[in-house]
A and B are shown apart, each in its own frame.
Chain A
Amino acid sequence: MTAGPSVVLTGIGSVSALGIGGAQVVAAGVARGLPGVAPLRAFPTDGLRSRLGGEVGDLSGHLDPDEARRLPRASQLVLVAVRLALLDAGLEPGGVTGLGLVVGSHWGDLRSSEAFARGYLARGPLGLSPLVFPSTVMNAMGAHAAIAVGARGPMLTLNQAGGAGEAAVARGAAFVATERAAAVLAGGVDELSPTLFRELVRLGVTSPALGFVEGCRPFDRRADGTVLGEGATFVLLEAEPAARARGARIYARLEGSSAGVVPRPARGRTPRRRPGPAGPGVIGAALARAGRRPGDLRAAYLTGLGDPAVDRCELDLLAVACGDEPVPPVAALTPLVGDHAGLGALRVAAAATVTLGRGQVPTLPDLKDPVRPELVPGRSAAQGMSGPEEGRTAVLVHGLGPRGVAVALVLGQAPAGQTA
């Protein structure tokens, strides 16, 4: 990290197909390992090749009636997640001076843009809603949440094709480390909508792109596209001295991060290019900034999109970064909740609670024929998680998008007696 106080993770709030809640919900859902993806119920998928998605259930129990009526759903997802993260951290909304908010998103609130345009197409200028228009700007999702929780520090929305959640966490940590904010809520959000889903299916992004049974199977030879999901996950980042002073529960320390662009993975069966051996790469740079070696890693939480090219590229990047040292066990949560920008922070949350907190590494739920068996042990879900391993006190979280934008975070174990 940058010079300044070390940054720790003290709160988790998540809204995903695994459930709605704080650290316990995330840890239990990841430990259960049962995919939350299912045939979509929110809108019809008739005539489309893909029909699975990681949907979020009813949010109304987590919102007051005014919020449920007034706010677009993408903003609701953010609001519920950040409130849960503050609650998990033992803080009250409005009770944190200098609170920042960094939101990562791949798609933003496209549903509001669509609704605004439909108003004009139906009724001309009189059909335009001045209430809907502000939500067509992507930062409205964060703005609504900032108002609700009193986040008056730096607020940022990062739009990124892959790794948006990790990028948000890295920026949030930098804001804390450089004392631009006392604490930052950082994470990501995306929402499933009919038009977005249909167009992404048509673009061939989703499984079954190659004719296998529909499903997200990262690092498996039967991988043939991703499954889309929705949700929001946010973590609360604080300066370690401040967190200790208030007696906060510390899940993990964010030790290092790095971002960059790797040779762009080509969608399809085989990548056109593989990352070259030159330089430490994004993963290597993050490890170096954390003062860690690959041998320190208990696990690597990868994007695991289910796209053969992206997945193979990601494994190659990890292998290159590890060099002669052993490659850590690989975990991927996309099969559980579907791909969305909230996943980056969900990976961070799972790395902190499940792996650093409990010493376990979640298995890949449907891995039968790994593309690189030496890197991805073919454990089945029935065998459960792998157990603790002495001396490996760090975890890598890696976000990689189809355009080659990569973000790596290194999390370290919280000091003794402070884990979740």
Chain B
Amino acid sequence: MRRVVVTGIGVASPYGLGRGPFWAGLADGQCAIGPVTLFETQGFRSRIAAEVPLAYGPRGSRRRSRADWLAVAAADEAVADAGLARRELRPAAVVIGGIGGGMLEAEAWFWKRERDVVDDPHLRRVLGSVMPWSHADVLGRRYGATGPQETVVLACSSGGAALGLAADLVAQGTTSLAIAGGVDALTRVCFMGFNALKLLDPAPCRPFARDRQGMSVGEGAGVVVLEDEAHAAARGARPYAELAGYGLTTDAHHPTAPHPDAEGSVRAMIEALERARVPASAVGYVNAHGTGTAQNDRAEALALRKVFDPDQVLVSANKSLVGHTMAAAGALEGIATVLTLVHGLVPPTAHLDDPDPDIPFDCVPGVARSAPVELAMSNSFGFGGQNLALLFRRLPGGRRSLSVS
């Protein structure tokens, strides 16, 4: 098996386009959650979300959906960051996690047709990109990539799983490099669905807080270039970190609720550790799924307690800052985990003034913490009992900043 390293990073986040603003926002503990502007929210319990300040919206995007634009923005940055020319991308695999696809635009068409009985031809034009596979298709054609192309749907674990599955393709020698990540635009069905489930906090979410009331939804895209370490070295690329292992399991318990004993997420974390051949005690930081719902945070804390010593590992939740970006979440949080290793700085959990006493971990409230971490884990859990844990390793000769080496 080949070692897999991260050689390029690209981000479209609620802080704006670019990995620089993303890391700066996380490190500063800036909350990017605010009122929803993309569609009407009258009558809902929660009316906030973390939107990407993207100049082009559904109207201006013509045939390409907002989600596709987010994916393109992040992938372009990742490819440039890796220093890859178009011809070098020809054998690349493209593995992208998605959920909503072009649903934001499809909803606009469907609603107009149902409400006004008008089949708007302009809105209809984006129907070709309604499914999540559109993201990988758009990126594959943009870069002329002829390697395997996969669109992974694992609910909120989608983006993280895409990184793991792409790493498999590289590790097994199917391809020498892969463009991998997750993307989702905010959609009405997602916003309204979580409202209907009463899982959204009217205020910005407060993971691991005693008075947490639910999550905040968001949107974005996170894309990385994963590469065979030898391939990267041969072309002089300096990697950020190694993707040392991942674990993927299923609860098979309930369509939406986590397993009460968290046994599936425990298995995912242990599998990631075993694949990387490292003990849990070697891990210094866990980027938690940390949604801010009562059930998720309780189950995740239980799982973490079964795997890690609370005195030896820091835990924080990016969702308190950028919301739950759905299929992008696992990829963005994986990137945040890599950047934690690179900078030796753990981003904080916002709005954590009153930590839940049942959660015995240091969840880095409010302010980022300097911590030289060698191994860090990123957890993603999704509807359907999908559990995903990514394990990243700091590289001795790896990059120590976001600037191109």
Which residues does A use to contact B, with CB under 8 Å?
2-3, 100-101, 106-108, 113-114, 116-118, 120-121, 124-125, 128-130, 133-140, 142-144, 146-147, 149-161, 167, 171, 174, 178, 180, 199, 203, 259-262, 264, 403, 405
List residues of chain A with CB within 8 A of the CB of B43: 124-125
Q: Write the nearest CB–CB distance from B170 to chain A, whole angstroms.
A: 12
Given contacts A260-B147, A405-B149, contact A157 B252 (CB under 8 A): no
Q: In the complex, A121 Cα to B249 Cα: how many Å?
A: 37
Q: In the complex, A171 Cα to B148 Cα: how many Å?
A: 11
Can you offer 9 A-B residue contacts whose CB atoms are under 8 A? A2-B172, A129-B196, A138-B153, A143-B384, A147-B253, A159-B133, A161-B133, A161-B137, A180-B271
Q: In the complex, A151 Cα to B148 Cα: how many Å?
A: 26
Which residues does B use to contact A, with CB under 8 Å?
1, 43-44, 98-99, 101, 103, 107, 110-111, 114-115, 127-128, 131-133, 137, 140-141, 145-155, 161, 165, 168, 172, 188-189, 192-198, 248-256, 264, 267, 271, 382-386
Q: In the complex, A118 Cα to B111 Cα: how many Å?
A: 9
Q: Write the nearest CB–CB distance from A332 to chain B, whole angstroms.
A: 23
List residues of chain B with CB within 8 A of the CB of A154: 248-250
List residues of chain B with CB within 8 A of the CB of A261: 140, 145-147, 149
Q: Write the nearest CB–CB distance from A133 to chain B, whole angstroms.
A: 4
Given contacts A117-B110, A161-B131, contact A153 B249 (CB under 8 A): yes
Q: In the complex, A150 Cα to B249 Cα: how many Å?
A: 12
Is A146 within 8 A of B384, CB to CB?
yes
List residues of chain A with CB within 8 A of the CB of B140: 261
Is B250 within 8 A of A136, CB to CB?
no
Question: What are the nearest 6 A-B pairs in CB distance?
Answer: A143-B384, A133-B193, A259-B148, A128-B196, A154-B248, A155-B250
Given contacts A113-B103, A128-B192, A403-B137, contact A159 B252 (CB under 8 A): no
Name the residue on A nearest B275 (C-beta).
Answer: A180
Q: Write the nearest CB–CB distance from B404 to chain A, whole angstroms.
A: 28
Q: What is the interface of chain B mostly: helix, strand, loop, or mixed?
A: mixed
List residues of chain A with CB within 8 A of the CB of B132: 138, 159
List residues of chain B with CB within 8 A of the CB of A107: 131
Name the residue on A nearest B172 (C-beta).
Answer: A2
Is A160 within 8 A of B150, CB to CB?
yes
Given contacts A106-B131, A130-B197, A160-B133, contact A152 B249 (CB under 8 A): yes
Q: In the complex, A190 Cα to B147 Cα: how many Å?
A: 25
Is A138 within 8 A of B99, CB to CB?
yes
Is A157 within 8 A of B264, CB to CB?
no
List residues of chain B with CB within 8 A of the CB of A260: 146-149
Name the residue on A nearest B109 (C-beta).
Answer: A199
**B255 CB contact (under 8 Å) in A144, A171, A199:** A144
Q: Write the nearest CB–CB distance from A16 to chain B, whole angstroms.
A: 22
**B383 CB contact (under 8 Å) in A100, A130, A143:** A143
Name the residue on B nearest A4 (C-beta).
Answer: B172
Is A158 within 8 A of B150, CB to CB?
yes
Is A152 within 8 A of B252, CB to CB?
yes
Q: In the complex, A108 Cα to B134 Cα: how many Å?
A: 14
Is B131 within 8 A of A159, CB to CB?
yes
Given contacts A152-B250, A154-B249, contact A136 B193 (CB under 8 A): yes
Q: With contacts A130-B196, A130-B198, A159-B153 known, what are 8 further pairs, Cβ within 8 A?
A: A100-B250, A137-B99, A139-B155, A139-B383, A152-B249, A155-B250, A158-B153, A260-B149
Q: In the complex, A178 Cα to B248 Cα: how many Å?
A: 13
List residues of chain A with CB within 8 A of the CB of B133: 159-161, 403
List residues of chain B with CB within 8 A of the CB of A142: 384
Q: Write the nearest CB–CB distance from A340 to chain B, whole angstroms.
A: 14
Q: In the complex, A180 Cα to B167 Cα: how many Å?
A: 14
Is B172 within 8 A of A178, CB to CB?
yes
